[in-house]
Structure 1
Amino acid sequence: MASSWGLVRIAANAGLSTAQWMVHTTVQTGQRVVRGLAAGEPPVKIAQDLGAELRSAAQSVLGVQPVPPEHHASTDELRARGAELLRRSSDVHFVEDTHPAFERILDELTPDEARIVRFLCREGPQPTVDVRTNRPLGIGSELIEAGLSMIGRQAGVRNMDRTNAYLNNLFRLGLVWFSREEVEPSRYQVVEVQPEVQAAMAKAGRAPKTIRRSIHLTPFGEDFCTTCLPLDS
């Protein structure tokens, strides 16, 4: 409904005869509500129908073409596309230089995320730590902070506080993976003295526990980097 009234405001700002249109529409809307309730229609359905009707009416007043519904491929269309992929795979003359997803991925990366990917490609897997409260046998241990690392700082990102969100998006895109395996033990000492890790350990209370993990580029991520990013600049 909010978007429908937004269209009404646009019509008013455009200098159209909105007052007359609104009076007519309000009358029609009231009649629609009365008819619907009398027929026993659920209020939610009535509201949805009214929203669609108001949008259609406003678009007509504004001369705006409605957006066509998104096309959903049928089973036959999907199978035909799959068959074409298999045909190409057996064609010795067909050469696919890059993965078709690379272009879409570039559209879904921030500049900071591109820096992180390039850094991981250059420097390899990076250490991360989780900070937990220390409880006997680990029973009742509480996670204080997860995925603390120096990746954002070392990659030179502008928004340090978004580093974990960046890494989550890179994971979603299939470029990185979070491993339970450790890298060289000495590399964690530098991470564990960082201010954010020390703050988490202080929050965890007496004898906090750190869990050592690591972040890696996937093979797909390595291919993406070498194909799409200038690694020598």
Structure 2
Amino acid sequence: MSDRRLPLRRAPLPFRLLGSAVRAAGSLPGGDLAARGARETESWLLGELAQRLDGLRHEPGADGDAGDVTDLPPQADAIARFQGLLAVSLNQRPEDARRYLFDRIVAQLVPDEARIIAALSDGEPVAVCHVGAGMRVGPVSRWVLENASTVGKDAGVMLLDQVPNYIAHLRLLGLVQLGGPSDALHTRYEILETDARVRGAVAMVDNELKMRPRLQRGTLVLSELGQALWRACEASAIEHDG
């Protein structure tokens, strides 16, 4: 593929960083191969971006001068951000990658979810139950309520009715995980099963679906990723206090 350069007066910062990384790689022992690969990546990326910018420039209503990348439509901004990530990836350390990962995860959290993570940080499992519907004999055919838990009250979240959704989101992010039932939480399960939302789900299965309600007990704990995030927060707090 030909090495097409951006039709701009000056290459954007991500590409200047990529060029610096290419030069740095070539100065290291055995860096010729890495530098060659980075140059090939740079050429391909620049060619792809040039084609996209050409397409944007010829869209109806676009003028003949692209101007700076920051003046282009949002699509070009996204491309530039992606190139920036590639440039950073050439020299990042594991701790840098972890910081980027945590930044992305935390940006998706709401305060109530942060409180749930804090409540689980002591490592003790909390009670969770799911309400399903099934025939008198046989497996559950559908779940009508998942992730009901006592952790909402324990954490002091503001929107208790959203706790199942919070837990589902935290599971999706990989920050919490479910486990089997715990005999030590027997009283907590009994309290949870008197919760209005759980009782409402049981009533719906019984009265509306005309099926047999099935309650499945379980536990909720932080995953390894959730523990790592909490440790990083603790370390940061200690550093700032110090």
TM score, norm. by length of structure 2 = 0.55
Q: Which runs of 5+ in 2 are unaligned?
A: 1-54
Partner of 1:65: 71
Residues 131 and 200 in structure 1, CA contact (< 8 A), matched pair in contact too: yes
Q: 1:18-167 residue pairs with structure 2 within 5 A?
A: 53-54=59-60, 56=62, 65-67=71-73, 68-69=76-77, 70-71=79-80, 72=82, 81=90, 96=95, 99-100=98-99, 101-122=101-122, 124-138=124-138, 141-167=141-167
Aligned: 1:210 with 2:209: no
Residues 147 and 168 in structure 2, CA contact (< 8 A), matched pair in contact too: no
Q: Secondary structure at the match of 1:130?
A: strand
Instruction: Report Cα offsets for 1:11-32 as digits up to 9, x if no partner.
Output: xxxxxxxxxxxxxxxxxxxxxx
Distance 1:167 1:142, change over 3 A: closer
Superposed CA RMSD = 3.7
The code of the aligned residue for 1:111 comes to P
Residues 117 and 222 in structure 2, CA contact (< 8 A), matched pair in contact too: yes
Runs of 4+ in 1 over 6 A off after TM superposition: none
Instruction: Report Cα offsets for 1:109-155 as digits up to 9, x if no partner.
Output: 21111101001113622221111234132257432211211222221
The count of corresponding residues between Structure 1 and Structure 2 is 165
Structure having greater relative contact order (Cα 8 Å, sep ≥ 6)? 1
Partner of 2:196: 195
TM score, norm. by length of structure 1 = 0.57
Identity of aligned residues (%): 26
CA distance in structure 1 between the partners assigned to 2:98 and 2:204 by the alignment? 45
Partner of 1:26: none
Q: Secondary structure at the match of 2:169?
A: helix
Larger Rg: 1 or 2?
1
Distance 1:219 1:139, change over 3 A: closer
Residues 116 and 152 in structure 1, CA contact (< 8 A), matched pair in contact too: yes
CA distance in structure 1 between the partners assigned to 2:199 and 2:191 by the alignment? 11
Q: Which runs of 5+ in 1 are unaligned?
A: 1-48, 90-95
CA distance in structure 2 between the partners assigned to 1:164 and 1:140 by the alignment? 19
Q: How far does residue 104 in structure 1 lie from its aligned partner after superposition?
A: 2.9
The code of the aligned residue for 2:72 comes to P
